[in-house]
Amino acid sequence: MNQVYKFIFLATIGLSRIGAVSVSASVDAGTINLSDVFTLKVEAKDADNTPTVDISPLLKNFTIVSGPAQQTNIQWINGKMASSRSLTWTLIANNSGTIVIPPLSVTMGGKRYKTNPITMVVNADGSGGAGNADIFIVAAADKQSAYVGEQITVSYKLFTKVNLSLTGVEYPKGTGFWVEDLRKPAAPRHRDTQVNGIRYRVYTLYEAALFPTKTGNLSVDPMVVNAAVSVSQKRKRDPFFDSPFMDSFFTQTVPKVIRSEKLDIKVKPYPSGKPSDFTGAVGTFSLDSNLDSEKVKVNEAVTFTVKLSGTGNFNLFSMPELQFQNDVQVHSPTSVFQKEALRDKLTGELRIEYILIPREEGRVYIPKVEFAFFNPQTESWDRTKTPGFTLSVEKGEEAALSGLSRNEVELLKEDIHYIKTDAPDWLKKGSSKIGITAWIMYGFAALLFLSPYPLESARKKAIASAPQRRSKAALRKALKSLQNITDNPDSEISGTVYWYLSEKCGLDVKAMDPSGVRSLLTPKITDESLSDILRILSDCDAIRYAPGKGIETQKLIDETATVLTTIDEQLS
């Protein structure tokens, strides 16, 4: 009997839900400002499954801030069940004007449906300019055209006359540029200024040096800032609460998305006459070299130093290779770039040291160093060089031989005096006057005497090979650490990268940062791998300081594992 009642109950529910499935789309505001966010909701009524929505038609005119968020509602009305399933997105418009949200394709239960189109009005007021806007970002570049490799300094400043707090920043990206951060404050400070007679607070959000890597018309994407803005709350009129004294107590916080204008840069090719030894240096440079000693002995080391100073694209060119004499042993050169702080231009000194060991006496000629570069100030090719050096190599000291020389030795017959003239006491082959016990004691004593030497040798060998063992195991431990990422993916991923590089290269992990990573890896790995690892560190910073950016943690972990594996092969 209970089974019969259960069947009747389920049949009643099924009959009560019989009806056509319908889908619809709606927004929470039909008229918005360009900096305002709005909500798009796609709802399916009387649906058994959550709808799948193709939102690709939206991406031309809108940017997704967050979503989709799912929601299910079930109601009983007059004995009938009404249900709805919805997906919600938070969006911002990319352009002002009248924009139509086209019908979106919705798939449920193997069937396709279409939503209704929605017409929206997006006003330009409130973003992108200094008219009467409450908030806007000004993007400025110190030049609109440049040569390949020439520095373009860009800055982004936020102007506001209302109270706000930054919740996320999407830094601009430009295809075809090498980017060097000049100023990226975690907590920007403001100063007061006036624009068209209106007082604003100005925050410098970002300054960077861009170096074009190809010719043509290039563009830098806008900077996007998510902010929580305090606005006055609308309320009913009241004789008490409408007083000016109480107005400041009735405000609400609303989300805003502020974007800068896109920057267009024209990149010019080099003029004719490019030198054959040009390696890509653009800027103003001077070259210097020195030898720490002009006179050494055979097998003594001497240091040859080359210093390149100036302003330019230090990370986008290579120094010329020097050829030394065959009778000079040359160790792999070490290079260090020292950047000058608090400069809008990438200025500093590149120092390269060669350790030379002459193996034969005589004269060793140290070659002159020449460096070709393009000077954008004069728009011409230029060259800097140093003179060569002459190293005098003297014969090294040798150990003196003791005793008489061959000419001083005279063999005379009377000089030979025999110590013993008796017949020797011969022993049979295989016999010994020393007993077996004595031999055992002698052997045991010898082992005790010699045992510290192999033990100490093994200990020193283990200590000496410890960095090499850590270097070989660095990748395996880093990949294992990436598999155990839990609560803080930003700090754990970047921490794993810094730990791997410190173990692989034998550095202090406390001194590692993106700038140090660039200086460490530039001459050792490919530009593509260097760009990938710096992007991963930048994404980790974005997760930490801009949680609304929407970076997938698992995807970032997989990319980090792939990039570290590639870098390990290049460093091995």
Architecture in CATH of 2-123: Sandwich (2.60)
Asked: is 465-571 a CATH 1.20.120 domain? The reply is yes
pLDDT in tens, 336-389: 999 887 678 889 999 999 999 999 999 999 999 999 999 999 999 999 999 999
pLDDT in tens, 394-411: 987 653 433 443 344 344
Three-state secondary structure call for residue 4: helix
At 458 the pLDDT is 63
- DSSP per-residue codes, 8-55: HHHHHHHHHT-S--EEEEEES-SEEETTBEEEEEEEEES-SS--EEE-
Partners of 199 in the beta sheet? 194
Phi then psi for residue 201, to 5 deg, are: -95, 135
For residue 504, the tally of other CB atoms under 10 A from its CB is 23
Amino acid at 260: S
What is the dotted CATH code of the domain comprising 135-268? 2.60.40
At 190 the pLDDT is 82
Domain ranges, ordered by start, for the chain: 2-123, 135-268, 283-394, 465-571
Architecture in CATH of 283-394: Sandwich (2.60)
- For the chain, residues with pLDDT lower than 50 are 1-18, 126-131, 248, 399-413
At 401 the pLDDT is 37
pTM (predicted TM-score): 0.54
pLDDT in tens, 467-510: 566 667 778 888 888 887 776 776 788 888 888 887 777 665 55
- Contact between 313 and 151 under an 8 Å Cβ cutoff? The reply is yes
At 266 the pLDDT is 95
At 150 the pLDDT is 95
**CATH topology match: 2-123 vs 465-571:** no
- Contact between 134 and 510 under an 8 Å Cβ cutoff? The reply is no
At 8 the pLDDT is 39
